[in-house]
């Protein structure tokens, strides 16, 4: 599609996308807001009214797109299945890479709108002919970790008005422009469809009898306590095990077929020097494969390991970690960085 000054903005009704609408309009874009109906807790649709009201105040069109069935199949079903398989799912990464941004692109194409925008705290940069996501300026809000899977066709059309701002500044802008509800709204916490403990969500959504209590074992195979069912535990988990020995204990391994959870008292026993990725995306493989200066992150915050990435004959990526890394769980995402630039990522096997 040819570039024009139209932009389709994903609007959740929250602070960031509301301020994004203001800033895009200030910058001279013809903004259309769109709110996806992904998941509505207890049928609450207040967010739709908030987004519609804001668009009305700004005098811009507002669209609503019902993606609940898609979200149920691609995200919620996957989320439950992953825990039931003893893995650790990454619903926000999948939603962004496979649902939210592709839907924005699809609907923008239908409407003849070139630019695609959200209130994500990230920037983008073109290097050697390739577009990359780079970290947002507000280190506490940076969301680059979730966006490694986007293709060039989306990256080149992205507008990211939050990238250079801090959340504090964004709230100030909302308040100064009279959008008090948006200014005061609390930050969303965790996964949108289960902001509470995911165990409560699983209990409510998995048919009775499918999650059954079992035993914790130590590394020598001795029973050391009872657990409530393997899907309620994740690799590296330390709290909430319900075993009271006078030392810290960690979940080392989950064996779904036997409903066993293996516990270790030694964090080093959870360390690994390598991992394998499937469903990966590398923006420019030439600047990742075989290089010594690639950083891999498997957590949103506070972790960054150097690694060497190799493509195997079976099309998986092999990640050789230069320093050992603890608590690598299958199903989690791994994102590659050089400095602030996201080079790609994948799903840990
Ligand atoms: N239901 C939705 N419909 C359309 N776009 C959405 C929706 N939910 C999120 N987005 C877009 O994705 C961005 C990032 O989503 P996330 O849930 O991480 O946001 P957030 O930090 O809570 O932002 P906000 O303050 O805008 O709600 C949002 O700023 C918004 O542009």
What ipTM was assigned to the predicted interfaces of this complex? 0.97
Q: Which stretches does DSSP call E strand in the chain?
A: 6-10, 30-37, 62-66, 115-117, 122-127, 130-135, 158-159, 214-217, 223-227, 250-255, 260-264, 271-282, 294-297, 305-311, 317-326, 333-338, 341-348
Closest CA to ligand 1's atom 18: 120
Strand partners, 215: 226, 260
C-alpha 203 to ligand 1 mean position (Å): 27
What is the CATH T-level fold of the domain 271-348, as seen in this structure? Answer: Elongation Factor Tu (Ef-tu); domain 3 (2.40.30)
92 is catalytic: no
Nearest to 231 by CA among 202, 205, 209: 202
Query: Ligand 1 mean position to 342 CA, how many Å?
Result: 20
Phi, psi of 317 (to 5 degrees): -100, 135
> CA–CA separation, 107 vs 114, rounded Å?
10
CATH 3.30.1040 fits 217-265, yes or no: no
3-state secondary structure of 252: strand
Instruction: Please name the residue that has the structure tokens 């469903």.
Output: 279
Q: What angle do CA 260, 262, 263 make, to 5 degrees?
A: 145
What CATH superfamily is the domain 6-184?
Answer: HUPs (3.40.50.620)
In DSSP terms, which residues pair with 36 in a beta bridge? 65
- Asked if residue 122 lies in contact with residue 145, where contact means CB atoms within 8 angstroms, the answer is no
Q: Which residue, judged by its Cα, is nearest atom 23 of ligand 1?
A: 16
pLDDT by 10s per residue, the chain, length 349: 899 999 999 999 889 999 999 999 999 999 999 999 999 988 999 999 999 999 999 999 999 999 999 999 999 999 999 999 999 999 999 999 999 999 999 999 999 999 999 999 999 999 999 999 999 999 999 999 999 999 999 999 999 999 999 999 999 999 999 887 777 877 777 788 887 789 999 999 999 999 999 999 999 999 999 999 999 999 999 988 988 888 899 999 999 999 999 999 998 999 999 999 999 999 999 999 999 999 999 988 778 999 999 999 999 999 999 999 998 999 999 999 999 999 999 999 9
| Contact 32 CB / ligand 1 (< 6 Å) | no
Q: How far from the centroid of its chain's Cα atoms is residue 3's Cα?
A: 29
Does any ligand 1 atom lie closer than 6 A to the CB of residue 38?
yes
Contacts of 143 (CB under 8 A, 6+ apart): 120, 121, 122, 136
Spacing, Cα 11 to ligand 1 middle (Å): 6
For ligand 1, whether the C-beta of 188 sits within 6 Å is yes
The response to whether 345 counts as a known ligand-binding position is no
- Give the active site residue among 95, 135, 194, 307: 95
What pTM was computed for the model? Answer: 0.94
Domains 6-184 and 217-265 share a fold: no
- 135 noted as active-site residue: no
N- to C-terminal Cα separation, the chain: 37
Domain map (residue ranges) of the chain:
6-184, 217-265, 271-348
Residue nearest to atom 12 of ligand 1 (CA): 118
Q: How far is the CA of 231 from the centre of ligand 1 (A)?
A: 28
């Amino acid at each position: 599609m040819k570039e024009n000054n139209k932009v389709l903005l994903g609007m959740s009704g929250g602070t960031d996308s509301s301020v994004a609408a203001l800033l895009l309009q200030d910058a001279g874009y013809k903004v259309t807001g769109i709110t996806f109906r992904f998941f509505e807790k207890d049928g609450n649709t207040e967010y739709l009214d908030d987004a519609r009201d804001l668009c009305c105040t700004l005098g811009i069109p507002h669209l609503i797109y019902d993606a609940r069935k898609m979200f149920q199949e691609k995200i919620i079903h996957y989320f439950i299945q992953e825990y039931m398989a003893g893995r650790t799912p990454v619903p926000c990464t999948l939603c962004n890479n496979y649902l939210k941004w592709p839907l924005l692109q699809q609907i923008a194409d239908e409407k003849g709108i070139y630019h695609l925008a959200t209130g994500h705290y990230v920037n983008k940069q073109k290097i050697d002919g390739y577009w990359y996501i780079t970290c947002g300026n507000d280190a506490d809000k940076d969301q680059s970790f979730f966006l490694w899977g986007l293709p060039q066709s989306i990256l080149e059309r992205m507008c990211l008005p939050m990238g250079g701002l801090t959340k504090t500044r964004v709230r100030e802008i909302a308040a100064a422009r009279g959008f008090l509800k948006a200014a005061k709204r609390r930050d969303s916490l965790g996964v949108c469809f289960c902001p509470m403990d995911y165990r409560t969500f699983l209990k409510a959504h998995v048919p009775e009898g499918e999650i059954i209590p079992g035993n914790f074992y130590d590394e020598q195979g001795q029973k050391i306590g009872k657990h409530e069912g393997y899907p309620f535990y994740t690799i590296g988990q330390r709290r909430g095990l319900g075993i009271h020995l006078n030392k810290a204990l960690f979940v080392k391994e989950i064996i779904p077929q036997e409903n066993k959870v293996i516990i270790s008292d030694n964090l080093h026993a959870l360390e690994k020097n390598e991992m394998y990725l499937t469903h990966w995306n590398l923006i420019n493989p030439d600047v990742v494969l075989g290089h010594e200066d690639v950083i891999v992150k498997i957590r949103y915050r506070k972790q960054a390991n150097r690694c060497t990435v190799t493509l195997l004959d079976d099309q998986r990526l092999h990640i050789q970690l230069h320093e050992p890394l603890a608590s690598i769980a299958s199903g989690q995402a791994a994102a590659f960085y050089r400095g602030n630039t996201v080079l790609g990522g994948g799903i840990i096997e």
